Copies of this chain bind each other. A is one copy, B any other.
Amino acid sequence: SSVEMAKAMAQLIDNEVFRAFATYAAIVLLKMMLMSLITAYFRITRKAFVNPEDTASLGKGESAKKYLRTDPDVERARRGHLNDLENIVPFVGIGLLYALSGPELSTALLHFRIFTAARILHTFAYLIPLPQPGRGLSWAVGYSVTFSMAYRVLRTAWLL
């Protein structure tokens, strides 16, 4: 049974569509995790914190309190992070179901690669920031890819 399981898992990991999904899902999740580091970088360099305990090393009493403030760069990074959550979570959930629905490898790769590129562009467009419609378009492209995968999942899986 352990041998059979190992065989079943080897099959899954041998499947090229599933391997492609695992690769791009890991990349976009790591990209999303990177937003935490960018927010932390801006909090430290701009000295803009939200928790009193985070400013203890910067001084005592009133002199530390002045660092409990918002900063435009910190807030921008946080909005980019939340936008990632709102868009990368559906991609990973729907993408897993899509990868299991048996699409052509070339079609699947097209979906995964366009989504990944669009979300990386979205982050640059948000942080630089690029003039609109740069950010809007990169958002819409990623959104459309997830929508297209959801359409195939529903067509394949819908219980009649």
| A contacts, CB < 8 Å to B | 1-2, 4-6, 8-16, 18-20, 22-23, 25-27, 29-30, 32-33, 35-36, 50-51, 53-54, 56-57, 76, 79, 81-82, 85-87, 89-90, 92-94, 96-97, 100-102, 109, 129-132, 135, 143, 146-147, 150, 153-154, 156-159
Contact = CB atoms under 8 A, between A and B. Distances in A.
B13 A1 contact: no
Contacts of A1: 11, 14
A56 B82 CA distance: 23
Contact of A150 (B14, B30, B93): B30
The 6 closest A-B pairs by CB, nearest first: A22-B157, A19-B157, A5-B11, A29-B90, A22-B97, A5-B15
B22 A12 contact: no
